[in-house]
């Protein structure tokens, strides 16, 4: 399917129009270094940037984890998209007409469904927002927001709304906009009745639209205005909404976050709105669930540090405990502010003001140190207390997985504080450490390094695929014996004659794993040869291939001579000696 796009130049047009630095730069902080751009890899944890983007070639590659490809690959891997979805997203962004008929029926259906859900969510957000601003039935909601200190500009920028206390307000309004109840149900806006029919999910609630990083409404969070349960209600997950991969307020606040290079993470939507209303704008919030690894990776793309602003209760300590391994694993600096008892970020900032909240944030403690101090306060440093602390630290250590450096630093640091040997913290976890080390050892030796000459030849052919057939005629497949090279060459054999300049695009699309990583790693660097020298370089490489094949054949003759001699096969021995003599004479002419 993807090949068809490249054959009629559709995907190539989109790729040529897309600025890969701009697309990746929305998610990764990139810095120009020579002809490339570098940043922290979004696909694995690292402190030193090894993620490189080459705008001239339209390629990215991480020299840490091996991830690499073109702008489509990035969109697919980062946003969990299919190729057609990535193609459509970029085509829309760069105003390129996409021939819909090229998509398979399944892909067309999936994209149309997502479009319907985006449309339904956007319309619902407009309806709720308009009702809040203008309808008499929303007076109590407007008074509530005013009482909570949420000014009109925040209401507008976050598109806050009100869902009236009716069972069919949204259902009827969407039907009037030609949005079916089935689509509204798929979007999580209405609920299907067991006996048939539908009813509104959100009723008598202040509604907070949830935006993705592109500014599309993907879901809603609602707070009950009157009495009733649950107090807070979020949309269910849908094809356009994954709550573990979404952060409330990130879309509106991402510019402020990047400017501050710091994120204040709060637990609730109204905590966030209240802080923004008090000029603390580098804030976002998870969506009513514990922080997830993917959300931490998202945070890392926007800032180098996170302040966890927790409620001053037992739940706040538990939240901090859960967060420790997530931030250690991602090597993201995290500090924590635990507010006084009976306060959350909303009540604190309204009671004491912006300046006092900024002082609290400035005094934030290192997250691991904070957790340890609280455990000491709770259990003490008696023999029994240390045992309880160790038991609470072990799940944190275990959840660090195969991040051996972070794990070792954590264990070493806190074992010293407890006056214990590191093994005591690792007890019951040694087997997993050994297993991880063993697996790492196997992975390390499973793929030998690519010989330099083979790497140079492959790099040359990626830049100048027009030389591929002369290289084939010279016998390149006989000298490129590395398994990864062979896979790439086999793919090129099928592609080059028909595709010409689209070779690299198709290789990146058709290959994966080590092969794609190798291609992107070669293309992201400055070529080792100049354009004007390509014919000369090609000639030298073809000569080397032929000469190397000749040497291999001589070695094979020598091996067979030794075997014939040991087997006392005089006839074969004489034939082989004559052939070797001819080869020796050829090599001297």
Q: Each residue of 313-327: pLDDT tens digit?
A: 666 667 777 888 788
Q: Which domain holds residue 94?
A: 2-103
Query: HSE of 352 in the Cβ direction (CA atoms, 13 Å)?
Result: 15
For residues 115 and 62, membership in a common domain is answered with no
Residue 367 lies in a domain: no
Q: Locate the DSSP E strands across 198-350.
A: 198-200, 205-211, 217-224, 232-234, 263-265, 283-284, 305-310, 333-338
For residues 90 and 166, membership in a common domain is answered with no
Question: What's the average model confidence in pLDDT over 504-530?
Answer: 75
For the domain that residue 111 is a member of, what is the CATH number? 3.90.980.10
For residues 98 and 34, membership in a common domain is answered with yes
- Residue 402's CB is within 10 A of a number of other CB atoms, namely 13
Collapsed DSSP state (helix, strand, coil) of residue 211: strand
Residue 436 has pLDDT above 60, yes or no: no
Q: If phi over 0 gives left and psi between -120 and 50 gives alpha, with beta otherwise, what is residue 110?
A: alpha
Q: Percent of the chain scored above 70 by pLDDT?
A: 87
Domain tally for the chain? 4
- Residue 328's CB is within 10 A of a number of other CB atoms, namely 23
Domain finish residue from 52, 76, 103:
103
The rounded distance, in Å, linking the Cα atoms of 59 and 525 is 10
Separate counts of helices (H) and strands (E) for the chain: 28, 16
- Residue 210's CB is within 10 A of a number of other CB atoms, namely 24
For the domain that residue 47 is a member of, what is the CATH number? 3.90.580.10
Which of the given ranges, 130-144, 278-292, 441-455, has the highest pLDDT on average?
130-144
For residues 416 and 438, membership in a common domain is answered with yes
For residues 458 and 581, membership in a common domain is answered with yes
Stretch among 22-36, 72-86, 483-497 having the lowest mean pLDDT: 483-497
pTM for the structure as a whole: 0.61
For residues 72 and 110, membership in a common domain is answered with no
User: pLDDT confidence of 341, banded at 50, 70, 90?
Assistant: confident
Residue 371 lies in a domain: no
Collapsed DSSP state (helix, strand, coil) of residue 85: helix
**Per-residue confidence (pLDDT) for residue 564, from 0 to 100:** 76
Longest dimension (CA), the chain: 109
Residue 433 has pLDDT above 60, yes or no: no
Residue 12 has pLDDT above 70, yes or no: yes
**Per-residue confidence (pLDDT) for residue 302, from 0 to 100:** 81
Residue 112 has pLDDT above 50, yes or no: yes
Q: If phi over 0 gives left and psi between -120 and 50 gives alpha, with beta otherwise, what is residue 140?
A: alpha
User: pLDDT confidence of 484, banded at 50, 70, 90?
Assistant: confident
Of the candidates 443, 307, 440, 402, the residue with the CA atom closest to the CA atom of residue 45 = 402
User: pLDDT confidence of 161, banded at 50, 70, 90?
Assistant: very high
For residues 149 and 48, membership in a common domain is answered with no
Domain finish residue from 68, 103, 138:
103
> Could you tell me the two tokens for 550?
């000749």
- The residues that bridge with 68 in the sheet, in sequence order, are 61
Query: Where does 135-192 have alpha helices with state H?
Result: 139-147, 152-157, 169-176, 181-186
Residue 588 has pLDDT above 70, yes or no: no
CA angle 56, 57, 60 (to 5 degrees): 110
Residue 312 lies in a domain: no
Collapsed DSSP state (helix, strand, coil) of residue 209: strand
What is the rounded average pLDDT for all residues in the chain?
Answer: 82
For residues 82 and 135, membership in a common domain is answered with no
Residue 333 lies in a domain: no
User: pLDDT confidence of 405, banded at 50, 70, 90?
Assistant: low
Of the candidates 515, 512, 466, 504, the residue with the CA atom closest to the CA atom of residue 54 = 504
- Residue 189's CB is within 10 A of a number of other CB atoms, namely 27
For residues 490 and 424, membership in a common domain is answered with no
For residues 110 and 235, membership in a common domain is answered with yes
The rounded distance, in Å, linking the Cα atoms of 279 and 471 is 64
Stretch among 177-186, 419-428, 429-438 having the lowest mean pLDDT: 429-438
User: pLDDT confidence of 103, banded at 50, 70, 90?
Assistant: low
Tokens 């490339």 found at: 36
- Residue 45's CB is within 10 A of a number of other CB atoms, namely 19
Higher pLDDT, residue 515 or 159: 159
The rounded distance, in Å, linking the Cα atoms of 324 and 337 is 14
User: Based on the number of CB atoms within 10 Å of its own CB, is 491 exposed (0-12), middle (13-18) or buried (19 or more)?
Assistant: middle
For residues 112 and 210, membership in a common domain is answered with yes
Higher pLDDT, residue 523 or 388: 388
The rounded distance, in Å, linking the Cα atoms of 276 and 354 is 10
Residue 37 lies in a domain: yes
Question: What's the average model confidence in pLDDT over 257-268?
Answer: 90
Domain finish residue from 49, 81, 103:
103
Residue 295 lies in a domain: no
For residues 232 and 137, membership in a common domain is answered with yes
Query: Where does 158-313 have alpha helices with state H?
Result: 169-176, 181-186, 250-260, 269-277, 293-302
Residue 10 lies in a domain: yes
Whether 471 and 548 have beta carbons less than 8 Å apart is answered as no
**Per-residue confidence (pLDDT) for residue 314, from 0 to 100:** 66
Residue 38 lies in a domain: yes
């Amino acid at each position: 399917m993807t090949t068809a796009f490249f054959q009629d130049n559709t995907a190539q047009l989109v790729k040529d129009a897309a600025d890969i630095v701009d697309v990746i730069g929305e998610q990764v902080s990139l810095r120009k270094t020579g002809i490339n751009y570098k940043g922290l890899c979004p696909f694995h944890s690292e402190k030193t940037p090894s993620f490189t983007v080459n705008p001239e070639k339209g390629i990215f590659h991480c020299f840490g984890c091996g991830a690499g490809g073109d702008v489509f690959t990035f969109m697919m891997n980062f946003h969990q998209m299919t190729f057609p979805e990535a193609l459509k997203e970029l085509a829309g962004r760069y105003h390129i007409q996409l021939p819909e008929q090229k998509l398979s029926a399944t892909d067309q259906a999936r994209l149309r469904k997502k479009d319907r859900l985006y449309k339904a969510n956007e319309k619902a957000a407009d309806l709720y927002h308009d009702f809040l601003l203008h309808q008499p039935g929303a007076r109590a909601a407007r008074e509530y927001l005013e009482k909570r200190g949420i000014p009109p500009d925040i209401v507008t920028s976050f598109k806050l709304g009100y869902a009236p206390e009716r069972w069919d307000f949204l259902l009827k309004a969407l039907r009037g906009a030609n949005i079916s109840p089935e689509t509204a149900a798929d979007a999580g806006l209405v609920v299907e009745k067991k006996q048939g029919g539908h009813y509104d999910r959100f009723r008598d609630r202040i509604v907070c639209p949830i935006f993705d990083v592109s500014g599309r409404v993907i879901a809603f969070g609602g707070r009950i205005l009157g009495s009733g349960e649950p107090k807070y209600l979020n949309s269910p997950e849908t094809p356009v909404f994954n709550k573990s991969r979404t952060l409330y307020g990130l879309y509106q606040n991402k510019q402020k976050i990047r400017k501050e290079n710091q994120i204040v993470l709060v637990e609730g939507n109204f905590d966030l709105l209240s802080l923004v209303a008090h000029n603390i704008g580098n804030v976002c919030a998870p969506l009513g669930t514990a922080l997830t690894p993917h959300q931490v990776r998202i945070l890392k793309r926007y800032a180098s540090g996170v302040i966890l602003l927790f409620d001053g209760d037992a739940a706040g300590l538990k939240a901090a405990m859960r967060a420790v391994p997530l931030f250690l694993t991602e090597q993201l600096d995290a500090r924590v502010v635990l507010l006084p008892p009976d306060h959350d970020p909303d009540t604190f900032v309204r009671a004491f003001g912006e300046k006092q909240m900024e002082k609290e944030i400035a005094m934030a403690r290192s997250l691991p140190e904070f957790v340890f101090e609280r455990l000491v306060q709770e259990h003490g440093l008696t023999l029994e207390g240390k045992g309880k602390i160790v038991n609470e630290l072990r799940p944190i250590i275990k959840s660090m997985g195969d991040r051996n450096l972070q794990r070792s630093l954590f264990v070493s640091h806190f074992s010293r504080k407890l006056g214990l040997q590191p093994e005591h913290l690792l007890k019951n976890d040694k087997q997993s450490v050994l297993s991880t080390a063993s697996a790492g050892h196997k992975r390390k030796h499973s793929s030998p390094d690519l010989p330099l000459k083979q790497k140079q030849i492959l790099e040359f052919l990626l830049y100048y695929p027009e030389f591929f057939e002369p290289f084939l005629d010279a016998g390149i497949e006989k000298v490129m014996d590395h398994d990864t090279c062979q896979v790439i060459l086999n793919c090129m054999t099928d592609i080059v004659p028909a595709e010409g300049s689209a070779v690299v695009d198709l290789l990146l699309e058709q290959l994966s794993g080590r092969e794609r990583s190798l291609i992107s790693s070669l293309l992201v660097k400055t070529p080792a040869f100049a354009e004007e020298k390509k014919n000369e370089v090609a000639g030298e490489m073809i000569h080397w291939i032929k000469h190397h094949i000749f040497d291999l054949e001589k070695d094979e003759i020598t091996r067979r001579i030794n075997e014939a001699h040991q087997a006392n096969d005089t006839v074969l021995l004489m034939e082989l000696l004559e052939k070797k003599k001819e080869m020796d004479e050829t090599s001297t002419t």
